[in-house]
């Protein structure tokens, strides 16, 4: 009862504030981005919000699905403050599960940073937690759950801190997000199991048939030779993309000639978005809450969790489309500004995956390392990598049809300044040989970090410098994402001291871009703007790019998370913890050891995978538990008759190396069979190819072996069993013949061989047929979980 009254009071309060906003809007002058008469606000005061977190059902795609709402809405309500205020946010967890809220980009006392098991204990079900902190900055920020996968299903919202003298211009918060009907836990499990179901749904499988049809057979072979799977720019299939909770969002209140500021936050869990506008140029005025010298562009890409303030003009009495397109361009969402006839923004053409694959091939060496080109050090995004990665080419995928177009030549300044000192850059132009991506529309201005310039000097205070280097590393096949090939739970906290400056050099040695986020601090992005390097809390790093950031360790203490903001990368362990030396104890974490164990459990979590074939000749299949390094699995071949044999192998092993190509294991093998099965094409099965007498008719023995992933993704497996018998095996699974047809094969020195096809009907069902030296030919279905 009491809380309802408070809520009503709050509503009344906020309607007064919005009325004041409206008054401010009436006073605005046209064409003035920096008004002479700023809007005045009430003196600093405490602003209270009550957030009620509840389970809810939503229907974004035609299917009713579970989501999480706050005060009955998705996104969560926009929280608005003015610099100098004090925030008092009561979080009422009405879920049956734990939760937390992180205030993204805010400078605040560590115990309110909202990382469960690090800066506080999780907010237990049906309890209330208070976050209370002074608002000491301004700008466009956002807030989200930092617990498990809650951010994916509704727990994101805008967090706006106005300056005391704010621009007099109509402003709307714009929160971008994605919606998947699939539960995020299942999305995560699917990613770890390397299913290509999402690619099938998106039409981006890049099979051999598609490669041959488009003249890219050698590209595909090279790709697999380098042990890569199909190329993609985003991992997850989403059913809808949302702008403030709607895929079509209408804002008709704007009139011709008006300028509108959009405070855009990418609250998506894993998608980058292209932003384009049908009413003319987009003026970027701030990023991650920090003002930049206004820069006009035709388009920009917003990384996961980044924010941009942009200003657009409504040119006429029409409705102009602000188009939001996910990086993979599978769908889009639209924000309509103004009223009248609709003016559409140009759709972004489909991506040319094989052209992208060709480029990735040339970027990666045989050890799985991204090649850092000597004459093209990709630093700080001073060159337009977005243009390089995504030139606007239309037409067919066939390179013959697009002609032999030139790549844009990349010019770089000879020198750039880092912390006042001039650094010699690798000079010049690079023709991107072998990276023929076709024509590039030179008229389109795309924002890059090099264009961001702070409005005042951002040099760090004098202090000792601590320099750190990290490689962003990952393994697409097993979906392990790391820094220097170590997860959060595999690495120590990085100790920093108050008063020192921390410089971090990041090299992206993986095939995906990563938006790296630092909690509680802004960092300078050394982008060639010298003393005016922009301040951000997110840096997007492309494959083979090397970037430098630096920040002042200015907090009194605490543990601050630094991590990739792609939710599924973070959950697999891509991060580090910066910890101030001699921090006072955090009262919100009474048992730090227990907290750490729970925190580390996130990236240690095992994933289950199963595949069961039910065919006319018997059943074969595999079940496994796997996590970052370890895998326990069992596989079986059970014929319907004794002469078809019964076999099961159970193994536990550990993947080694960054690319996880080595897999030593130990286990147990059981094999029983009577003679009379299918005739072996290699003759008698009495002896194996090493001349050892076969024991496959009745074998139960321990085994030890090592598997290795070869070029073309063949698995070589050498093992010895408890009876001294050797076995060498070559196998390859899931060769993509067409978008849904997969081919499997296996042969070993016990004269066993197998070949089969699987046609994927749904995520869980396939039609399958295979021939096996023990079981003969069979057909049926395969269930995949
Ligand atoms: Cu990442």
Q: What is the pLDDT of residues 326-360, one digit of tens each?
A: 998 889 999 999 999 999 999 988 888 888 788 77
Q: 423: pLDDT confidence band, cut at 50, 70 and 90?
A: very low
pLDDT of the residue at 694: 83
Half-sphere CA count of 515, side-chain side, radius 13 A: 26
The Cα 322–Cα 255 span in angstroms is 15
Selection from 752, 755, 770, 745 nearest residue 677 by Cα: 752
Question: 563: CA distance to ligand 1 center in Å?
Answer: 8
Dihedral sign of CA atoms 580, 581, 586, 589 in order: positive
- 662 token code pair: 């080595």
CA distances from 680 to 692, 745, 750, 775 (A): 17, 16, 11, 11
Question: 515: CA distance to ligand 1 center in Å?
Answer: 6
With both helix axes pointing from N to C terminus, report the angle between 217-225 and 353-363 in degrees, rounded to the nearest 10.
40
Question: 729: CA distance to ligand 1 center in Å?
Answer: 35
Question: 574: CA distance to ligand 1 center in Å?
Answer: 7
- 326 token code pair: 């996910």
pLDDT of the residue at 396: 38
Q: 221: pLDDT confidence band, cut at 50, 70 and 90?
A: very high
For 529-582, write each residue's pLDDT tens digit. Answer: 999 999 999 999 988 888 999 999 999 999 999 999 999 999 999 999 999 999
Q: What is the mean pLDDT of residues 602-608?
A: 95
Question: 399: CA distance to ligand 1 center in Å?
Answer: 31
Question: 338: CA distance to ligand 1 center in Å?
Answer: 37
Question: 573: CA distance to ligand 1 center in Å?
Answer: 10
Question: 166: CA distance to ligand 1 center in Å?
Answer: 35
pLDDT surpassing 60 at residue 120: yes
Question: 467: CA distance to ligand 1 center in Å?
Answer: 22
Q: 194: pLDDT confidence band, cut at 50, 70 and 90?
A: confident
Question: 440: CA distance to ligand 1 center in Å?
Answer: 27
Question: 575: CA distance to ligand 1 center in Å?
Answer: 9
pLDDT surpassing 50 at residue 5: no
Question: 547: CA distance to ligand 1 center in Å?
Answer: 15
Q: What is the mean pLDDT of residues 716-730?
A: 96
Question: 472: CA distance to ligand 1 center in Å?
Answer: 8
User: Distance between alpha carbon 488 and the CA centroid of its chain, in Å?
Assistant: 17
Which has the minimum average pLDDT: 37-51, 190-204, 630-644?
A: 37-51
User: Distance between alpha carbon 697 and the CA centroid of its chain, in Å?
Assistant: 49
Question: 685: CA distance to ligand 1 center in Å?
Answer: 49
- 184 token code pair: 């995020």
Q: Which helix (H) or strand (E) holds 273?
A: strand 273-277
Question: 442: CA distance to ligand 1 center in Å?
Answer: 30
pLDDT of the residue at 14: 36
Task: Give ion ligand 1 contacts, CB < 5 A.
Answer: 514, 564, 566, 569
Question: 567: CA distance to ligand 1 center in Å?
Answer: 8
Residue with the two structure tokens 């974004």: 60
Question: 268: CA distance to ligand 1 center in Å?
Answer: 13
pLDDT surpassing 60 at residue 384: no
Question: 72: CA distance to ligand 1 center in Å?
Answer: 31
Question: 154: CA distance to ligand 1 center in Å?
Answer: 21
Question: 313: CA distance to ligand 1 center in Å?
Answer: 34
Question: 516: CA distance to ligand 1 center in Å?
Answer: 7
Question: 233: CA distance to ligand 1 center in Å?
Answer: 12
Question: 365: CA distance to ligand 1 center in Å?
Answer: 21
CA distances from 136 to 73, 84, 415, 454, 668 (A): 28, 6, 36, 19, 62
Which has the minimum average pLDDT: 32-36, 70-74, 435-439, 541-545?
A: 435-439
Question: 146: CA distance to ligand 1 center in Å?
Answer: 16
Question: 289: CA distance to ligand 1 center in Å?
Answer: 22
At residue 292, what are phi and psi to the nearest 5 degrees? -130, 160
Question: 728: CA distance to ligand 1 center in Å?
Answer: 37
Q: What is the mean pLDDT of residues 486-507?
A: 97
Question: 494: CA distance to ligand 1 center in Å?
Answer: 20
Beta partners for 690? Answer: none
The Cα 577–Cα 559 span in angstroms is 6
Question: 483: CA distance to ligand 1 center in Å?
Answer: 10
Question: 102: CA distance to ligand 1 center in Å?
Answer: 19
- Whether the bond into 75 is cis, omega within 30 of 0: yes
Question: 696: CA distance to ligand 1 center in Å?
Answer: 46
Question: 775: CA distance to ligand 1 center in Å?
Answer: 44
Question: 10: CA distance to ligand 1 center in Å?
Answer: 39
- Strand duo 662-672 + 538-541: pairing: unpaired
The Cα 778–Cα 637 span in angstroms is 12
Instruction: Let me know: does 144 contact 565? Beta carbons within 8 Å.
Output: no
Question: 665: CA distance to ligand 1 center in Å?
Answer: 29
Q: In a 10 Å sphere around its CB, with 0-12 CB exposed, 13-18 middle and 19+ buried, how is residue 59 labelled?
A: exposed
Question: 576: CA distance to ligand 1 center in Å?
Answer: 13
Question: 477: CA distance to ligand 1 center in Å?
Answer: 14
Instruction: Let me know: does 481 contact 510? Beta carbons within 8 Å.
Output: yes
More confident residue, 598 or 41: 598
pLDDT surpassing 90 at residue 397: no
pLDDT of the residue at 390: 55
Q: What is the mean pLDDT of residues 180-208?
A: 92
For 620-657, write each residue's pLDDT tens digit. Answer: 999 999 999 999 999 999 988 888 888 999 999 999 99
pLDDT of the residue at 28: 33
Question: 383: CA distance to ligand 1 center in Å?
Answer: 21
pTM assigned to the model: 0.88
Question: 508: CA distance to ligand 1 center in Å?
Answer: 10
Selection from 407, 398, 395 nearest residue 435 by Cα: 407
pLDDT surpassing 90 at residue 781: yes
Q: 117: pLDDT confidence band, cut at 50, 70 and 90?
A: very high
Mean pLDDT taken over the chain: 86
Residues 6 or more apart from 183 whose CB is under 8 A from it? 66
- 235 token code pair: 């991992």
Question: 740: CA distance to ligand 1 center in Å?
Answer: 28
- 341 token code pair: 């006839």
Winning range, highest mean pLDDT, from 12-26, 142-156, 199-213, 421-435? 142-156
| Helix then strand then coil, % of the chain, to nearest 5 | 15, 40, 45
Q: Which helix (H) or strand (E) holds 653?
A: strand 646-654
Question: 716: CA distance to ligand 1 center in Å?
Answer: 30
pLDDT surpassing 60 at residue 36: no
Question: 304: CA distance to ligand 1 center in Å?
Answer: 10
Question: 305: CA distance to ligand 1 center in Å?
Answer: 12
pLDDT of the residue at 40: 53
For 279-322, write each residue's pLDDT tens digit. Answer: 999 999 999 999 999 999 999 999 999 999 999 999 999 999 99
Question: 569: CA distance to ligand 1 center in Å?
Answer: 5
């Amino acid at each position: 009862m009491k809380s309802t009254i408070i809520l009503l009071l709050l509503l009344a309060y906020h309607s007064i504030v919005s009325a004041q906003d409206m008054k401010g809007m009436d006073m605005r002058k046209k064409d003035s981005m920096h008004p002479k008469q700023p809007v005045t606000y009430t003196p600093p005061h405490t602003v209270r919000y009550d957030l009620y977190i509840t389970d809810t059902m939503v229907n974004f795609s035609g299917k009713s699905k579970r989501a999480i709402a706050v005060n009955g809405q998705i996104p969560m309500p926009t929280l608005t403050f003015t610099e100098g205020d004090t925030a008092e946010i009561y979080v009422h967890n009405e879920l049956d599960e734990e939760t937390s809220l992180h205030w993204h980009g805010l400078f605040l006392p560590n115990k309110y940073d909202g990382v469960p098991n690090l800066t506080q204990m999780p907010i237990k079900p049906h309890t209330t937690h208070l976050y209370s902190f002074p608002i000491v900055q301004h700008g466009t920020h956002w807030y989200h759950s930092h617990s498990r996968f809650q951010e994916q299903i509704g727990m994101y919202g805008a967090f706006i801190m106005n300056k005391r003298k704010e621009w007099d211009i109509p402003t709307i918060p714009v929160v971008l997000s994605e919606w998947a009907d699939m539960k995020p836990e299942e999305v995560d499990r699917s990613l770890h199991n390397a299913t290509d179901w999402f690619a099938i749904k998106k039409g981006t499988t890049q099979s051999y048939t598609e490669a041959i049809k488009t003249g890219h057979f050698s590209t595909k072979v090279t790709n697999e030779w380098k042990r890569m799977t199909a190329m993609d720019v985003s991992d997850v299939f989403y059913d809808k993309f949302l702008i403030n909770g709607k895929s079509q969002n209408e804002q008709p209140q704007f009139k011709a000639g008006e300028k509108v500021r959009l405070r855009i936050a990418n609250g998506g869990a894993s998608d980058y978005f292209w932003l384009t506008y049908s009413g003319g140029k987009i003026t970027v005025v701030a990023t991650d809450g920090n003002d930049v010298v206004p820069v006009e562009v035709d388009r920009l890409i917003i990384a996961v969790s980044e924010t941009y303030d942009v200003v657009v003009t409504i040119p006429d009495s029409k409705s102009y489309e602000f188009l939001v397109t996910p990086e993979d361009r599978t769908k889009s969402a639209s924000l309509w500004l103004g009223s009248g006839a609709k003016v559409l923004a140009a759709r972004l053409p489909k991506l040319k995956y094989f052209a992208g694959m060709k480029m990735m091939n040339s970027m990666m060496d045989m050890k799985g390392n991204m090649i850092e080109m000597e004459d093209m050090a990709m630093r700080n995004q001073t060159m337009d990598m977005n243009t390089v990665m995504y030139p606007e080419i239309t037409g067919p995928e066939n390179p013959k049809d697009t002609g032999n177009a030139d790549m844009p030549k990349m010019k770089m300044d000879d020198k750039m300044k880092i912390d006042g000192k001039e650094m010699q850059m690798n000079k010049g132009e690079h023709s991107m040989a072998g990276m023929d991506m076709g024509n590039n529309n030179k008229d389109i201005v795309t924002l890059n970090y090099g264009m961001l310039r702070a409005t005042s000097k951002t040099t760090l205070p004098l202090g000792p410098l601590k320099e750190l280097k990290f490689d962003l590393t990952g393994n697409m096949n097993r979906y392990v994402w790391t820094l220097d090939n170590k997860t959060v739970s595999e690495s120590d906290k990085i100790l920093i001291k108050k008063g020192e400056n921390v410089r971090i050099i990041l090299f992206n040695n993986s095939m995906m871009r990563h938006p790296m986020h630092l909690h509680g601090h802004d960092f300078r992005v050394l982008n060639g703007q010298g003393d005016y390097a922009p301040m951000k809390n997110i840096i997007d790093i492309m494959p083979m790019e090397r970037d430098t950031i630096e920040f002042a360790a200015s907090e009194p203490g605490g543990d601050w998370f630094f991590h990739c903001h792609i939710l599924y990368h973070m959950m697999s362990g891509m991060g580090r913890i910066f910890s101030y030396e001699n921090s006072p104890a955090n009262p919100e974490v009474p048992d730090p050891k227990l907290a750490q164990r729970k925190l580390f459990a996130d990236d240690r979590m095992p994933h289950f995978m199963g595949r069961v074939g039910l065919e006319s000749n018997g059943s074969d299949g595999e079940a496994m538990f796997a996590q970052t390094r370890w895998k326990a699995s069992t596989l079986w071949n059970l014929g319907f008759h004794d002469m078809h044999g019964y076999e099961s192998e159970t193994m536990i092993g550990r993947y080694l190396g960054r690319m996880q190509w080595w897999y030593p294991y130990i286990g147990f093998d059981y094999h029983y069979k009577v003679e009379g099965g299918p005739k072996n094409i290699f003759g008698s099965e009495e002896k194996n190819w090493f001349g050892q007498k076969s024991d496959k008719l009745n074998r139960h023995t321990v085994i030890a072996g090592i598997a290795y992933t070869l070029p073309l993704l063949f698995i070589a497996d050498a093992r010895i069993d408890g009876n001294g018998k050797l076995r060498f095996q070559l196998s390859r699974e899931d060769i993509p013949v067409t978008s849904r047809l997969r081919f499997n094969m296996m042969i070993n020195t016990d004269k066993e061989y197998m070949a089969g096809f699987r046609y994927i009907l749904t995520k869980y069902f396939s039609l399958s047929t295979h021939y096996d030296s023990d079981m003969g030919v069979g057909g049926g279905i395969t269930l995949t979980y």
